[in-house]
Structure 1
């Protein structure tokens, strides 16, 4: 599934579209600034994978600070059988620059 640009993400958030929104930054980063996504730090993703099982066939949009960690999270989820995973290109930095 294609990654998503920050402008498209903003529109989807404003419309209230149905997707799982994940932030894979560390908790302290999330506390400083967040977009309202569910915070699961990248390093803990394998430990909580079973809690995401219900989203295996649903759209998941992942972001981090710049797009690198969320890109890794996307690849990991795809390798675990998740089918509709998208990375936010440019991360929260690009989003805040809108």
Structure 2
């Protein structure tokens, strides 16, 4: 598992699966453009929605939940796991909000 700076994260997330592991209400309040919401609380049931043959880019509000999500996916056989250092709180790129 790699912890990436925002710059490194930006460099690769468009060619990967971008997963927001925060709860749906946090996701709706704003998320990185192109992210899918699979909350950590549902990951055990929904991890099969994430392809294991492609890089996975994870983020949460800071880094605690994305780290836990990455550990869980690693145990399920996922290899290319990347977490955003500082989480969504530190993100300065494009975001999308629900109106």
Task: Identify the residue that residue 8 of structure 1 maps to in structure 2.
Answer: 8
The TM-score normalised by the length of structure 2 is: 0.84
Aligned residues: 92
Q: Look up the SS of the partner of 1:96 in the other structure.
A: coil
More helix by share: 1
RMSD: 1.6
CA offset at residue 57 of structure 1?
2.5
User: Residues 33, 91 of structure 1: CA spacing in aligned structure 2 closer, same or farther, 3 A cutoff?
Assistant: same
Structure 1 contact 7–95 (Cα < 8 Å) conserved: no
For 1:35 and 1:2, the matched residues in 2 are separated by 19
1:58 to partner: Cα distance = 1.4
Q: Which runs of 5+ in 1 are unaligned?
A: none
Segments of structure 2 that go 5 or more residues without pairing to the other structure are: 94-99
Query: TM-score scaled to structure 1, two decimals?
Result: 0.84
Alignment of 1:1-98 (within 5 A): 1-12=1-12, 17-36=14-33, 37-52=35-50, 55-96=51-92
Structure 1 runs of 4+ aligned residues shifted over 3 Å read none
